Amino acid sequence: MKLLVTGGAGFIGSAVVRRAIAQGHAVVNLDALTYAACLDNVAPVAAAPGYAFEQADIRDRAALDRVFATHAPDAVMHLAAESHVDRSIDGPGTFIETNITGTYTLLEAARSYWVGQGRPESFRFHHISTDEVFGSPYSASKAASDHLVRAWHETYGLPVVLTNCSNNYGPYHFPEKLIPVVILNALAGQPIPVYGQGENVRDWLYVEDHAEALLLVVQKGALGRSYNIGGENEAKNIDLVRMICAILDRLRPQTRPYAEQITFVADRPGHDLRYAIAPGRIRDELGWRPSVTLAEGLEKTVQWYLDNEAWWRALQHRHGVGQRLGTG
């Protein structure tokens, strides 16, 4: 297939791009290159004959029309989004513009292209969403985008599939999210911040597993269906942080245990206690289950950050990285 991947220079998007190229698909990576994007994430495949890059904003209809006309994709995999909850608390407007208006603009561009191509039955618009659709401005913007995609399917017949995933982690994770923050603060000898008492529960999905599932859904998912993609690895935040500290104690030992750097800080406003996801449909209909346990994935992730210091150091100067955001 020729895939148009939006947000392909981001964390999950770049994992999709790398795996798609490895599977023999052609990929057009469309990314606005905002603060969380990094083209180094796709450097391993940038010279591949099936790879192309387009710098464009999903809110720019003229740019989208040009990309569709130039590349004629078989499917859209829509991952471009503002995704950091704390940033959405401080500045919700960007989340509304990108996640809602941007998704609407992309849907209209895709519909126009699909109609112009004679409404091919093989075309797919795959909207990649989250289990986090309550509680924060980010959550509300993602819930709205899901509703838009379903509406364009029901009203206009646009052939769509949707996926909602649990928390991702793994290589190339932007260093403002929980797991990279724990690793990098630990290595720097700084306090490791844990919101509240760390009792909040998340299900953790290794990003390479997620990319594999997304490519399966875009090819074999039933039209109009939404598939939950979970890691089947629920853990309290405090337990997750202690697991990372224990791995660092083995891989990069210091004079005292890293867990002594754990510091409880004021909780995030509206912080949900637990996200849970039921992934039965993707397992029963498409035969997919995650292959990486939380212990295995954390080991791989910590080792990747230890081996790729140049990558994360280059991102630490970007706006807001390393600061406490979203205090309300």
Residues classed as catalytic: 131-132, 138
Distance of CA 146 to the CA centre of its chain: 15
Q: What residues have CB less than 8 Å from 27, skipping those under 6 apart?
A: 2, 3, 5, 8, 17, 20, 21, 45, 50, 51, 52
From residue 262, alpha-carbon distances to 22, 181, 258, 269, 281 in Å are 39, 12, 8, 21, 38
The residue type of 174 is F
From residue 136, alpha-carbon distances to 111, 132, 214, 276, 301 in Å are 30, 9, 25, 17, 27
3-state SS class at 52: strand
Question: How many residues does the structure list for the chain?
Answer: 328
What distance in Å separates the CA atoms of residue 89 and residue 139, rounded to the nearest whole number?
Answer: 11
E-strand stretches of the chain: 2-6, 26-31, 51-55, 75-78, 124-130, 160-165, 167-169, 192-195, 201-206, 226-229, 234-236, 262-265
Query: 232, 203 in Cβ contact below 8 A?
Result: yes
3-state SS class at 201: strand
